[in-house]
Amino acid sequence: MAEEQNWEEANNHTLCANNCGFFGSPTTLNLCSKCYKDHCLKEQQMSTAKLAVEKSLSPPQHQPETSSACTTVFAISSGGSLEPDSTLEVVVKAEPKNRCGSCKRRVGLTGFTCRCGIMFCGSHRYPEKHDCTFDFKTMGKEAIAKANPVIKGVKLEKI
């Protein structure tokens, strides 16, 4: 046993801290390459789990893309303070992003997002197939006007 320790000290090699039989190095926390890789994966999983727990415990942030969002309407009383009006409450329900806006079929990675902001399947991707609300005509006119400015020459005075 003493001879083994003398040999390790003489060659600056140390056995793996997990006692797996391989040699470790000080740069890898005295672990062999396999044990160090496993150690790094465990640390990464623990950090992601910790972030997930912190995120679930923290109050939810305001996100307009959630499945159900509530908007509270405030009424101004004669005193000038804002109080929530209990009679008016608007509930906005957004559709999931992975389904077609017309037929509700799952689209996955093959979905097409229209300029109106809704995702559609292959058969409903064209504006005439899903009653699109986007005004393509006005957008086209504005693009042409911006790309081709009117150039007027300077008028010459008559002699």
Report the C-alpha gap between 53 and 153 in whole angstroms: 68
d(CA 93, CA 71): 11
Q: Is the pLDDT of residue 36 over 70?
A: yes
User: For residues 10 and 82, what is the distance between their CA atoms, to the nearest angstrom?
Assistant: 78
The pTM score is 0.33
Q: Using the CB atoms, write b or e for 28-57: b if 16+ within 10 Å.
A: bebbbeebbeeeeeeeeeeeeeeeeeeeee
According to the model, what pLDDT value does residue 157 have? 85
Residues 6+ apart with CB under 8 A from 75: 82, 83, 84, 85, 88
Q: Using an 8 Å Cβ cutoff, are 64 and 71 in contact?
A: no
What confidence tens digit (pLDDT) does each residue in 121-150 have?
A: 999 988 888 888 888 899 999 999 999 988
Report pLDDT for 62.
Answer: 52
**How confident is the model at residue 65, as a pLDDT?**
47
The string of pLDDT tens digits covering residues 51-100 is 877 777 766 555 444 444 444 444 454 444 445 544 444 555 555 578 99
